[in-house]
Amino acid sequence: MKRGDAKIPAVLRAAFWGSALAIVYTHVGYPAILRLLTRGRGADLPAPSEPELPPRLSVIIAAYDEEDVIEAKVRNVLGTDYPRDRLELIVCSDGSKDGTVERARAAGADVVLDLPRAGKVRTQDAGVERAGGDLLVFSDANSTLDSEALRRIAEPFADPGVGYACGQVSFVNEGGDSQEGAYWRYEMQIREAESSLGGVTAGNGAIYAVRPEAYVRVDERMGHDFSFPFNLTKRGWRCVYQPAARATEKMVPTNEGEFRRKRRMMSHTWAIVVEGGLLDPRGYSPVYAWEILSHRLLRYVSPFVHLKLLVASVLLIRRGAIYRIGLLAQLALIAAAVANVKLARYYLLITASPALGLVDYLRTGTPAEWEKAEGTR
């Protein structure tokens, strides 16, 4: 046996154990460490207060062909418990070809911008240029805000160091087999813990707010959900999670549909990772850098880590029972997914989505335009 051949099992063992530990760490270990570090701390937000005059809010809704939901959305926003004279509602149509503009105006939006098709980010930028509020609040056209959501999303900004706050989104499942709701409950627990340490590493489109002076114009391919938290953190702002600001959205009904949605999202996310500055640690605290590594980067490379683990398991199958058990466990997961065991199928598809999103990003680039996820209206 050549000397180099003896090193091959050691390399394979390192690949096996390194991959297995990385998978367990990002899904189980990291949340467990967060829980230990934040036990008893809460979200570290300012205590709710009733100022004499609440801040003026400019609520901005970017909409593309949303005639089916825009009237209900306008009524929902205007029906919250926020003082009407302190609330400005701006609907920005991104080149809608249906009745979105007319229905938004008829429902009572303060400002309706009928814009040429430019993509969600540039459409939101146009709304910001028109806004006159003390805080900018963004919400998706298909989300429904809780009656207290606007008042609650404004509360963290009593701290002058807070530049960004995202609320809590819950997904409503009207039939179908998607497991996205369970994932988001898990994700919100992580977000609350991150908020009380280095800050949140991502938001959601259902409800979030930013100070006008903190707002940044990001690349048109890079949405606010992932771009704002790390960009604002680099600029010295706190980015927090406000679980009391609640919104609901109708989830994609099937695991396959959710896979397609996440694949599209990941094509935008890879643009942020590769070109948008996420990997540049300048401006991060050590804790925030650890959060980005654990919750973002390891998640995004997880399909490649899984593949590495599978290959190492196959090549080590004759080297010990632990490797055979590891291979059987992976094959059992794949078999369960193929057999349409809901949670296994969801995990396999969602884990694969970053890899396919990377293929799309490298092959065709990332478009600025966005499409509605199927079954969410």
Number of H helices, E strands in the chain: 14, 8
**38/124: higher pLDDT:** 124
Contact 66, 376 (CB under 8 A): no
- Give the Cα separation of 113 and 130 in Å (integer): 9
Cα separations (Å) of 335 from 23, 24, 245, 330, 344?
19, 20, 40, 9, 9
Q: What sign has the CA pseudo-torsion 180, 233, 222, 27? A: negative
Least confident of 157-161, 171-175, 357-361, 366-370: 171-175
pLDDT digits (tens, 9 = 90+) for 92-109: 999 999 999 999 999 999
Cα separations (Å) of 218 from 230, 269, 301?
12, 13, 24
Contact 104, 74 (CB under 8 A): yes
pTM: 0.88
- Domain 57-253 sits in CATH at 3.90.550.10
- 236 torsion bin: left (phi>0), alpha (psi -120 to 50), beta (else): left
- In this prediction, residues 193-219 reach a mean pLDDT of 95
Banded model confidence at residue 4, pLDDT cuts 50, 70, 90: very low
pLDDT digits (tens, 9 = 90+) for 129-167: 999 999 999 999 999 999 999 999 999 999 999 999 999
Q: Which amino acid, residue 84?
A: R
Least confident of 44-48, 64-68, 202-206, 256-260: 44-48
- pLDDT, residue 365, reads 80
- In this prediction, residues 179-200 reach a mean pLDDT of 87
Q: Is the pLDDT of residue 122 over 70?
A: yes
Return the structure tokens found at 238: 């706190």
Task: Look at strands 238-250 and 143-145 and give their pairing.
Answer: antiparallel
Q: Is the pLDDT of residue 176 over 60?
A: no
- pLDDT, residue 185, reads 85
The mean predicted confidence, pLDDT, of the chain is 90
- In this prediction, residues 275-283 reach a mean pLDDT of 93
pLDDT over 90 for what percent of the chain?
77
Contact 101, 65 (CB under 8 A): no
Return the structure tokens found at 202: 């991502």
Contact 250, 377 (CB under 8 A): yes
Q: Is the pLDDT of residue 376 over 70?
A: no
Contact 16, 313 (CB under 8 A): yes
- pLDDT, residue 1, reads 43
Q: Which strands make up the sheet holding 111-115, listed edge to edge?
A: 111-115, 87-94, 57-63, 135-138, 208-210, 162-172, 238-250, 143-145
Q: Is the pLDDT of residue 367 over 80?
A: no
Q: Is the pLDDT of residue 278 over 60?
A: yes
Name the CA radius of gyration of the chain, rounded.
Answer: 22
